[in-house]
Amino acid sequence: NLRDIQLKCLRDKGGVIGLTFYPPFIKEKGATLDALVDHAVYIAGLIGVEHLGIGSDFDGMDMFLPELKDVTALPLLAERLFKCGFHDAEIKKILGENILRVIKDTIA
């Protein structure tokens, strides 16, 4: 987890923060998909949705959110983001367009 000042520095450099799906990093006990979405709402409010992505680490974790055990559950994340007020274009950015932008900018 990063401090607000670190998130703002990342924004100022044009970077993207990947939301971690690792339960202990989301909430000490009882992490849920709703808690993950709360993180997304907070970060987007602080630094803008253009700097928010996902960092699932599905291939490197040994525990998962009950509702988000693998990539097949990503539509559920998109649905929850929509219910929390994110628009379709913003959700597309979060789910991949933002990180693709950074990759393109880096190799250009």
Amino acid letter for position 54: I
Q: Report the pLDDT value the prediction gives residue 63, as an integer from 0 to 100.
A: 87
What residues make up the domain containing 83? 4-107
Q: How many domains does the chain fold into?
A: 1
| pLDDT, tens digit, 9 for 90 and up, residues 50-67 | 999 998 888 878 888 989
- Sequence-distant (≥ 6) Cβ neighbours of residue 90 within 8 angstroms: 44, 49, 81
Q: Report the pLDDT value the prediction gives residue 54, as an integer from 0 to 100.
A: 95
pLDDT average, residue stretch 74-82: 97
| pLDDT, tens digit, 9 for 90 and up, residues 1-49 | 799 999 999 999 999 999 999 999 999 899 999 999 999 999 999 999 9
Alpha-helix runs per DSSP H in 1-108: 4-12, 23-26, 33-47, 74-83, 88-92, 98-107
Q: Report the pLDDT value the prediction gives residue 88, as an integer from 0 to 100.
A: 98
